[in-house]
Chains A and B, each alone.
Chain A
Amino acid sequence: MKDIIILAIETSCDETSVAVIKNGREILSNVVYTQIDLHKKFGGVVPEIASRKHIEKIDLIFTQSLEESGLNFSDLDAIAVTYGPGLVGALLVGMSYAKALAFGLGIPLIPVNHIDGHIAANYLAFPDLKPPYIALIVSGGHTHIIDVLDYGEYEVLGRTRDDAVGEAFDKVARTLGFPYPGGPYIDKAAKDGNKEAIKFPRTYLEKDSFDFSFSGIKSAVLNYLNSMKMKGIEINANDVAASFQEAVVDVLVEKIIKASLKMNHKEIIIAGGVAANSHLRKRLKEEAEIHYLDVFYPPMSLCTDNAAMIGAAAYYQFKKGIFANLDLNSVPNLKL
């Protein structure tokens, strides 16, 4: 069978990325330009600045990625692009560029849901992984438990009702004085802290619900910090980080294990930026082993936003003939 080569573009937030993917599983190139150092200075992503950086870099990153892949235009079977969810101005840069490229080259345009990409990141890391399985998507924008029935076919079992888990990490990190994005700093600080030091609440919601709520624990941490300040007691940031992280991971692990047992799937994948959290990885692995479940998570480089994962997801759409017309629009609040 002829190889299918897809060039994928991702600009949904603060990474400008272009990748070339073979048969949905093999990375020929994956160039990621991250603007993170710029947004750090603001303590979060500034949409207008992100968009300005995307338009400045997109053509350069494209050229570099195609060059690294060692291929030519004539080798490409399709152009894939993230069309949501994400920051609208940022999405529009990648999408307008992708549409024009596909039109100019006379090849199909594949519209990819960013979350679908995070799931598909695992196909790049694990060549034998196939649906069905349970997926936990955890990032700054999303907290989902998904029953992955087939490639690109999902049933959402649960989602956050307020903050995304990554958002909670970032907010707590900020109050502890860590730089943006705070997730990795919490992870690091927690390693030197006592996770039993402070008892933060775990929100499980209704029995049998796979939904999440992280606003309670976020406020609990803020309240704790305030009351310590009022009493003039110096806090131990490592202990706060460890206790907060433990509480969040408790809920995530319990729900994902429950969901996979309920759906009778043997495999769990985790994806999204928070999948890089070392404590989540360790705890989930331990808990899964008890129940004879296998856990997969992509390497760090594929956890954060990148175009390779978009190219992996696009491959399965290519096979089904799911293409976009020239009037495709970006959908900032696109659902899975």
Chain B
Amino acid sequence: MKILGIDASTQTAGVAIIEDEVLKSEIVINNDITHSQKLMVIIDQVFKNLDMTLDEIDGIAVTIGPGSFTGVRIGMATALGLSRAKDIPMAGISTLEALAMNNKGFNGIICPMQDARRDQIYTAFFKFENDELIRLTPDMAISIDEFIDRIEKYDESILLAGPDADKFYDRIKAMNNSDIQLVAFNLGIPRPSSVAYVSRNREFGKIIKPNYVRKSQAETSYEEIHGKSVFDD
């Protein structure tokens, strides 16, 4: 089973192809490039690296957030177009779950975090049990204070993972006396190989839905003013 993994949901953009449990090729770009320009180019490159075509792919796994709203949509629209062209089924993968998967082998609670601005982070808690990634909470947007409250309930080691873990590491470490560790420099960013790997035991299909976690600002203000969702009639 060959799976194409795609991620454009944070500041990095990446593409990988895995075959069963073997990583065949992976490209990750981490600079200020616009994903819209580079994503399709590196997809093409990964296929060229392997002398392969899209026809050989059995499934497409793509990150659906949380992360950059625009980035999530670039990744998803790309996956949708590829899927439609060759009738390849898709699986939408939580960016946080893919980030947790990067740290297979860690013995404790894995907390991927992304700066969600407005004094919040996107996070969720995971742990490995018998080599399987277990989700302990849903994806959420919470404040750092709330995050600290929550991790205090665990006796185990805590791994701060994800692209923005280093930003909050000192503050969290100072306020919490349990064992807090920081993710390795190259495992904090979403890896498209992990995205593909997480999808192994997912159901693939024709529909993927974004996982923004947060409503748009306009939607929230509308609800505050009108007391109902803008999507209600």
A interface residues, Cβ below 8 angstroms from B: 38, 41-42, 46, 48-49, 51-52, 54-55, 58-59, 62-63, 73, 88-89, 92-101, 103-105, 326-330
Contact = CB atoms under 8 A, between A and B. Distances in A.
A329 B230 contact: no
Contacts of A97: 77-78, 80-81
Interface stretch (B67-75, B108-116, B125-133, B140-148): B67-75
A104 B84 contact: yes
A95 B80 CA distance: 12
A33 to B, nearest CB: 15
Nearest 3 CB-CB pairs, A to B?
A: A104-B85, A100-B81, A96-B77
Contact of B40 (A58, A62, A94, A327): A327
Given A49-B216, A55-B73, 19 more contacts: A42-B230, A46-B216, A46-B218, A48-B218, A49-B219, A49-B230, A51-B73, A52-B210, A62-B84, A63-B84, A88-B70, A89-B70, A93-B73, A96-B77, A97-B81, A103-B44, A327-B40, A328-B37, A329-B37
Interface string B77-102: 11111101110000000000000000
B81 A48 contact: no
B154 interface: no
B17 interface: no
Contacts of A101: 81-82, 84-85
24 contacts: A46-B218, A48-B217, A48-B218, A49-B216, A49-B218, A52-B73, A55-B77, A63-B84, A73-B85, A89-B69, A89-B70, A92-B36, A92-B70, A92-B73, A98-B81, A99-B40, A100-B40, A100-B79, A100-B80, A100-B82, A103-B82, A104-B81, A327-B41, A330-B36
A42 B84 contact: no
Contact of A92 (B77, B219, B230): B77
Contacts of B36: 92, 95-96, 329-330
A55 B81 contact: no
Contacts of B69: 48, 51-52, 89
Give chain B's interface residue range (CB within 8 Å of chain A): 20 to 34
B39 A96 contact: yes
Contacts of B210: 52, 55
Contact of A326 (B41, B70, B219): B41
A329 B85 contact: no
B38 A327 contact: yes
Given A49-B216, A92-B74, A104 B230 contact: no
Dominant SS at the A interface? helix
B85 A103 contact: yes
A89 B81 CA distance: 17
Contacts, number: 108
> In this complex, which of A54, A73, A101 has the most chain B Cβ atoms within 10 angstroms of its Cβ?
A101
B194 to A, nearest CB: 21
Contacts of B16: none
Contacts of A99: 40, 78, 81
A63 B206 CA distance: 12
A330 B37 CA distance: 9
Interface in B36-59: 36-41, 43-44, 54
B86 A104 contact: yes
Contacts of B54: 103-104
B76 interface: yes
> In this complex, which of B41, B76, B77 has the most chain A Cβ atoms within 10 angstroms of its Cβ?
B77
A18 B193 CA distance: 33
A108 to B, nearest CB: 14
Contacts of A92: 36, 70, 73-74, 77
B80 A329 contact: no
Interface string B153-180: 0000000000000000000000000000
Contacts of A98: 81
A227 B175 CA distance: 61
A52 B82 CA distance: 20
B34 interface: yes
Contacts of A48: 69, 216-218
Nearest to A52: B216
